[in-house]
Amino acid sequence: MTEKNNNKNSSVYSLYPRKLKMQISIVFFIIIAFYFYSLSETGSDFFKLFIDFPDIVKKMLTMFPPNWDYIPAAIDPLVETIQIAVVATTFSVLICIPASLLAANTISTNKYIYQTTRTVLNILRTIPDILLATIFVSLFGIGIIPGIFALTIFSLGLLAKLLSETIETIDTRQLDAIKATGGNIVQVIWYGVVPQVLPQFISYGLYVFELNVRASLVLGFVGAGGIGTIIDTQLNFLRYQNVMAILIVLLVAVIVIETISNMLRRRVV
């Protein structure tokens, strides 16, 4: 009887990998078919890319050696880029605190307020930052103000989502204990929520700041200020060696900012 059961189990185990392999193969071929269909519909031609690859390499070689004399001209726009990121991150951090509380079901007991806040945050998060910058440039003109507004709105949606989901996972027994002793909603948030989410909140804020530094580079291409503006100008004048010098400065700045941010995150988390 035992031998019969063992044979039955072994046959089941032998069939299971076969079915699994068949399912994986079907999914794989579906993905490949969709891939080639997408290439056909979008008119993508990778063969042309391979044919033109020597020209691409030749174009990239024109960026070397970098024009080191142009680096001083890139310092002020780089500082402006960091300033845009700092201001936008500060605004988004301040606004996201009440927004994330309203979007967390552990705090917001009114389902209409909860759903409305979540919907608004989802809409903000789905609008690309470059589109926001283009809209604000058309409203306020070229400068750093459109960049600040665009990054504030974009990072608000992201930061509020991260923080609200963190608030929803906290230990609610602490909140119930404060309520049981007669604590009001402010005391519940200050003594029950803040101590549990503060380390993650600081970590999220630093992460969003890093994203804003990188994003402000792209926003400069639509006139939203920062170092992207001079990169766009130098590309238009085909001064590729100047562009390479700017990119090196930007790379060093991003590495320094990310290193400091990681150090701070390790201390608070």
Q: Can you give the pLDDT at residue 45?
A: 67
Fold of 68-268: MetI-like fold (1.10.3720)
Query: Domains of the chain: which residue ranges?
Result: 2-44, 68-268
* Percent of the chain residues past pLDDT 70, beyond the cut: 91
Q: Can you give the pLDDT at residue 78?
A: 86
Mean pLDDT of the region 4-23: 58
Mean pLDDT of the region 221-226: 77
Non-local (6+) Cβ contacts of 154 within 8 A are: 124, 125, 127, 128, 129, 132, 215
Q: Can you give the pLDDT at residue 16?
A: 53
Q: Can you give the pLDDT at residue 13?
A: 47
Task: With a cut of 70, say whether residue 8 has pLDDT above it.
Answer: no
The 10s digit of each residue's pLDDT in 185-209 is 888 888 888 888 888 888 888 888 8
Q: Can you give the pLDDT at residue 90?
A: 92
The 10s digit of each residue's pLDDT in 16-56 is 567 777 778 888 888 888 877 777 777 766 677 677 778 77
pTM of the model: 0.76
Task: With a cut of 70, say whether residue 112 has pLDDT above it.
Answer: yes
Mean pLDDT of the region 76-92: 89
The 10s digit of each residue's pLDDT in 121-173 is 888 888 888 888 888 888 888 888 888 888 899 888 889 888 888 888 888 88
Task: With a cut of 60, say whether residue 11 has pLDDT above it.
Answer: no
Contacts of 137-145 spanning 24+ positions with Cβ under 8 A: 137/222, 137/223, 137/224, 142/223, 142/224, 142/225, 143/223, 143/224, 143/225, 144/80, 144/83, 144/84, 144/224, 144/225, 144/226, 145/225
Q: Is the dihedral of CA 118, 119, 121, 126 positive or negative?
A: positive
